[in-house]
Amino acid sequence: MPDVTELRVGGLAPLSTCDWPGELVATVFCQGCAWDCAYCHNSHLRPHDSKDQITWQSVLTFLQSRRGLLDAVVFSGGEPTLQPALLSAVASVRNLGFRVGLHTAGMASDALSQVLPLIDWVGFDVKAPLGEYSRITGVSQSGAKALASLRLLLESGVSYEVRTTLHPALLTVAQLMELRDELLSNGVTNYAVQHFRPTGARLDRLPLVSELSQPDLPADFSHGFLHFQIR
């Protein structure tokens, strides 16, 4: 197992109430992502190396000072599952007594299968209907990888939220309806649609949109999900 000190950390949010809904968490932002989604609000984390990385020891020291004050720690990114040291990092956080959440887009199903037994909750980003995935991510076969990981997550029994970012120039309502049907057919019961927000995104690659231009979803869009949110 790779040494935990090899984890590339691009940032640390000491307190978040949105990275794991309903929980007070610290969020560890892992450096590096293999996909190129233009609307990503953490695009600075996409390169696998950065001069602004922080050490795992400094993260661990901070977390030790927050024992009993935080509910959990979330590993976000970037894409955490691309890092060989993720499993060691998750184990060390659990040893401190924290529950652990994970944000992933499902691009590394083998790594996900290894870490899932130590995870309490997953925020799983689904980009688009299967046939539209490569247009969003810029990577061929990305949809097949995401679907394999999604099925792995659903079979694991780990608590989760599947969510999709809606940029009206990238996903139409008809495509979102197609995605909804795909999710329901695979057994997804907890789903959220997140309206695009420009903070951190590469706006030079995206048409400008405002909150007023966000499309309305059909009234029956949520039918079939046990839990559904728009935010």
Instruction: Tell me which residue range forms the domain holding 122.
Output: 4-230
> Which tops the pLDDT comparison, 20 or 207?
20
How large is the average pLDDT for residues 122-128?
Answer: 98
Percent of the chain with pLDDT over 90: 76
Report the alpha-carbon distance of residue 38 to residue 32 in Å, rounded.
15
Give the total number of structural domains in the chain.
Answer: 1
pTM for the whole thing?
Answer: 0.94
- Calculate the average pLDDT of the chain: 91
152-184 confidence digits (pLDDT tens): 999 999 999 999 999 888 888 999 999 999 999
Compute and round to an integer the Cα radius of gyration of the chain: 17
Return the closest-CA partner of residue 150 out of 191, 193, 93.
191
Give the model's pLDDT for residue 212.
Answer: 45
Which pLDDT band, with edges at 50, 70 and 90, does 82 fall under?
Answer: very high
193-222 confidence digits (pLDDT tens): 998 776 655 656 666 655 546 678 899 999
Residue 191 predicted with pLDDT over 50: yes
How large is the average pLDDT for residues 139-151?
Answer: 97
Give the model's pLDDT for residue 198.
Answer: 64
55-69 confidence digits (pLDDT tens): 999 999 999 999 999
Residue 153 maps to which CATH number?
A: 3.20.20.70
